[in-house]
Amino acid sequence: MTSFNEQVYALVRRVPAGRVMSYGAIAHLLGFPGKAREVGWALHVCPDDVPAHRVVNRLGGVSGDSAAGGAQIRRLLLEEEGVDFDSRGRCDLGRYHWEPTALCHPQRL
DNA sequence: CGAATGACCAAGC
DNA sequence: GGCTTGGCCATTC
């Protein structure tokens, strides 16, 4: 049914390991620059096959600790995938922020 | 239907 | 980079 949230999942699913995307970027790429909050909601109810831990806010930090383990687990998963976090729990978006390129070519870290 | 809430973002200080 | 204000929009009460 190609609902907004379906499109979000489709995009997040193709994010390679060790890479992250911001809510706003996802919303913008889908053609809805103002619907960042809905992206957040989509991930809040995300199915198991969606690597929601690869989606962070625009500062590169994981959000929401309400879920079981939530933010902490997601951050650890990213670290396992090779994402380096700083003391404030944020990663370097300039290095890890990914966007759907045709080549899906992994850049040098 | 209206008010409050939220895994957000951009602009201004 | 951090705080405040305004905005966008779906979901919940």
**Which residues does nucleic strand B approach, with CB less than 7 A?**
A 22-25, 36-41, 43-44, 46, 52-53, 55, 57-59, 62-64, 66-67, 74
Domains and CATH numbers, chain A: 4-93 (1.10.10.10)
Position A48, amino acid: D
How many angstroms is C1' of C4 away from CA of A49?
Answer: 38
Residue recorded with tokens 């997601």: A74
How many angstroms is C1' of B1 away from CA of A79?
Answer: 46
Angle (nearest 5°) at CA A18 between A67 and A37? 45
pLDDT band at residue A11, thresholds of 50, 70 and 90?
very high
pLDDT in tens, A47-99: 888 999 999 999 998 887 655 567 788 889 999 999 999 888 889 888 999 98
Cβ-Cβ contacts under 8 Å for A80 (sequence gap 6 or more): none
How many angstroms is C1' of C10 away from CA of A42?
Answer: 10
